[in-house]
Amino acid sequence: NAGVTQTPKFRVLKTGQSMTLLCAQDMNHEYMYWYRQDPGMGLRLIHYSVGEGTTAKGEVPDGYNVSRLKKQNFLLGLESAAPSQTSVYFCASRNRVSVNQPQHFGDGTRLSIL
């Protein structure tokens, strides 16, 4: 049981470069989320999706774009990376059955922007 898989696990970018983080889940979950975790800040929601083809902004969406072309995949893009985007990025998914469902997390992507 893979659950939620994030790729890559680590990446170092130069300022201005672009990249895409991939999240894949095999639980047939409708909802998917992207968070960033910074020291002392907890997890903050970047973007989320409630189904294939739909996305919505979270608390800190600026500088990021997302796409949900397939139900099992949720992509997070950085068009022009900035040092402030150095962080650990987590993807999560959950069932749509009710709001009282837990989220399932991947192990994160550690991203450094130089």
Partner 1 sequence: SQQGEEDPQALSIQEGENATMNCSYKTSINNLQWYRQNSGRGLVHLILIRSNEREKHSGRLRVTLDTSKKSSSLLITASRAADTASYFCATGMNRDDKIIFGKGTRLHILP
- The DSSP bridge partners found for residue 90 are 35
CA 76/CA 9 separation, integer angstroms: 14
Check if the beta carbon of residue 41 is closer than 8 Å to that of residue 88: no
Contacts to partner 1 from residues 48-87, by CB under 8 A: 48, 50, 56, 58-59
Letters for 17-36 (x = contact with partner 1 by CB under 8 A, - = none) are --------------x-x-x-
Question: Given candidates 34, 64, 74, 90, which one binds partner 1 under the rule CB under 8 A?
Answer: 90
Question: Given candidates 4, 21, 66, 81, which one binds partner 1 under the rule CB under 8 A?
Answer: 4
Element (H, E) at 40: none
Name the minimum Å distance from CB 67 to partner 1.
18
CA 1/CA 17 separation, integer angstroms: 34
Of 21-29, 64-72, 78-86, 99-107, the segment contacting partner 1 by CB under 8 A is 99-107
Check if the beta carbon of residue 4 is closer than 8 Å to that of residue 106: yes
Check if the beta carbon of residue 55 is closer than 8 Å to that of residue 74: no
Q: Which residues bind partner 1 (CB under 8 A)?
A: 4, 31, 33, 35, 40-45, 48, 50, 56, 58-59, 90, 92, 99-100, 102-108
